Amino acid sequence: MHKVLIITYYWPPSGGAGVQRWLKFVKYLREFGWEPVIYTPLNAEYPVIDDTLLNDIPAGVEVIRTPIWEPYEFYKKITGKKSTVKINSGFLNHKRSPGIVEKLSVWIRGNLFIPDARKFWINPSVRFLNKYLSEHKVDAIVSTGPPHSMHLIALALKERFNIPWLADFRDPWTDIDYYKDMNISAYADKKHKGLELKTIKGCSAMVVVSRDMKMNYEMMGANNVHLIRNGYDSADMDVQDVVRDTKFSISHIGTLPPSLNLKGLWKVLSELSDSLPHFRENLEIKLIGKVDNSITDDISAFNLGNQFTKIEYVTHDKAALLMKQSAILLLAINKDSPNAKGILTGKIFEYLASGRPIFAIGPSDGDLAQILKETEAGFISEYDDLEGIKKTVLMLYQKYLSNDLNNSPKGIEKYSRKNLTAELAGVLNMMLEV
């Protein structure tokens, strides 16, 4: 059996979206002839913790942990936060009016912590893994980002040992939606893009999660780029004793930063609540996970406060139950992201497997729209198309009133985590043959 060293920042007990992809690959890799070895931080600053995910790690998998220093304790001190506070991703505005310290911190993140705040783990990791690889044979190395510091660790190892290296991009580097929010200087922008280019040209192969990302990285000069999407694990979605919501519940599971404030939807729901008999009493907006204050403020401003239910982060197994209970599953793509057409969150595939209708708001000509059309799993409207949003909500509401909201997506088996792991093993095998 071949052995692969996987360099990842996110690993259980980390919760959230970042951990799922490689946790599931590791769960099934042995079935395709690869023994995984995980290299991950000992004391990482994870935004959320989910101990239930530890159950997915196969028995006997070697997990190597070394200490990491991250600047978050310093950030907490200068911003007056308690040491127990978790730092959120996506620039969630828990302070409605960020002060100069918060704004300065964002600038420092983009201009001094290049490529990211985990940069201080690069050199210690290279030293540790130089010694480890001198004593332990591996057949391939994988790095997964973000954080993209993981790729720079792998790059240094590739240069020394010439071991085949697969760089996995769960999100783009400089094309990601919040890149423009960090007030990056011309010098820092050049450095970010230089490291990104060095990574995509230095790896033996790349894996990305959307067609748009594949095309963009190939245009930048990357070779041997493979598309392996995120997916769903059948075991996770095998939820028993599901009691469906009695209300017309529109549920979003996951983080909602300011860039995903669906003002058009809130406006439509408010208008329908005022004009359509019984719509207000039947409606429930259910947001599960971390939600920015600007979104909750706008929901209240549209007089939907009594229809709004906010649930803090839940464990992955509970999230699957909440999906299956809901009438409608809501998904949003940031319209201002430079790669909006190529954004495919891992959540979409679990939505597909839940069997509930999906209502997405985002580009009608992007990867998400194509998948919804292929699987016949839901509907998508553009952000500013209020008439389209209203038409879709009314159609789904009529189905709700008729008790006709069941959904049977077509051809989603190719997105199962086990089948996707088979694709990954094929890429790893190909690297060995070059």
Pairing of strands 248-253, 225-227: unpaired
The C-alpha atoms of residue 126 and residue 136 are separated, in whole angstroms, by 15
Split into its structural domains, the chain has a count of 2
For the ranges 44-48, 99-103, 371-375, the lowest mean pLDDT is seen at 99-103
pLDDT of 373 strictly over 80: yes
Q: Which residue has the higher pLDDT, 48 or 200?
A: 200
Residues 310 and 399 in one domain: yes
Give me the mean pLDDT over the 394-411 stretch. 92
pLDDT of 299 strictly over 90: yes
Residues 208 and 226 in one domain: yes
Q: Is the pTM of this model over 0.75?
A: yes
Give me the mean pLDDT over the 327-340 stretch. 88
Domain assignment of residue 100, yes or no = no
Residue 63's SS3 state is strand
Q: What pLDDT does residue 43 have?
A: 93
- Whether 61 and 39 have beta carbons less than 8 Å apart is answered as no
For the ranges 52-66, 343-357, 388-402, the lowest mean pLDDT is seen at 343-357
Residues 308 and 427 in one domain: no
Q: What pLDDT does residue 385 have?
A: 95
Domain assignment of residue 83, yes or no = no
Residues 62 and 149 in one domain: yes
Residues 172 and 258 in one domain: no
Best CA proximity match to 90, nearest among 294, 264, 267, 263: 294
- Domain, as residue range, for 360: 234-412
The DSSP line for 20-47 is HHHHHHHHHHGGGTEEEEEEEESS---S
pLDDT band at residue 345 using 50, 70 and 90 as cut-offs: confident
Domain assignment of residue 428, yes or no = yes
Domain assignment of residue 93, yes or no = no
> 33: which 2 tokens?
């002839």
> 21: which 2 tokens?
């992809």
The C-alpha atoms of residue 378 and residue 407 are separated, in whole angstroms, by 9
pLDDT band at residue 93 using 50, 70 and 90 as cut-offs: very low
- Whether 64 and 135 have beta carbons less than 8 Å apart is answered as no
Residues 158 and 241 in one domain: no
pLDDT tens for residues 225-274? 999 999 999 999 988 889 999 999 999 999 898 889 999 999 999 999 99
Residues 239 and 314 in one domain: yes
Domain assignment of residue 260, yes or no = yes
- Whether 46 and 78 have beta carbons less than 8 Å apart is answered as no
Q: Name the one residue in this structure whose structure tokens are 């985002």.
A: 362
Residues 139 and 274 in one domain: no
Q: What pLDDT does residue 74 have?
A: 58
Edge-to-edge strand order for the sheet containing 248-253? 308-311, 283-288, 248-253, 328-332, 358-361, 378-381
Q: Which residue has the higher pLDDT, 315 or 122?
A: 122
Percent of the chain with pLDDT over 70: 93
DSSP 167: E
- Whether 204 and 225 have beta carbons less than 8 Å apart is answered as no
pLDDT band at residue 92 using 50, 70 and 90 as cut-offs: very low
pLDDT of 114 strictly over 80: yes
Residues 216 and 289 in one domain: no
CA 277 to chain centre: 38
CATH value at residue 10:
3.40.50.2000
Q: For the chain, what is the mean pLDDT?
A: 91
Best CA proximity match to 4, nearest among 115, 119, 138, 116: 138
Domain assignment of residue 101, yes or no = no
Residues 307 and 378 in one domain: yes
Residues 375 and 426 in one domain: no
pLDDT of 24 strictly over 80: yes
Domain assignment of residue 81, yes or no = no
Residue 229's SS3 state is coil
The CA distances from residue 387 to 242, 295, 382, 395, 397, in Å, are 33, 21, 10, 12, 15
Q: What pLDDT does residue 106 have?
A: 76
Residues 33 and 141 in one domain: yes
Give me the mean pLDDT over the 351-359 stretch. 95
Q: What pLDDT does residue 83 have?
A: 54
Domain assignment of residue 343, yes or no = yes
pLDDT band at residue 47 using 50, 70 and 90 as cut-offs: confident
- Whether 369 and 358 have beta carbons less than 8 Å apart is answered as no
The C-alpha atoms of residue 283 and residue 357 are separated, in whole angstroms, by 16
Residue 190's SS3 state is helix
Edge-to-edge strand order for the sheet containing 34-41? 62-66, 34-41, 2-7, 140-145, 165-169, 205-208, 225-227
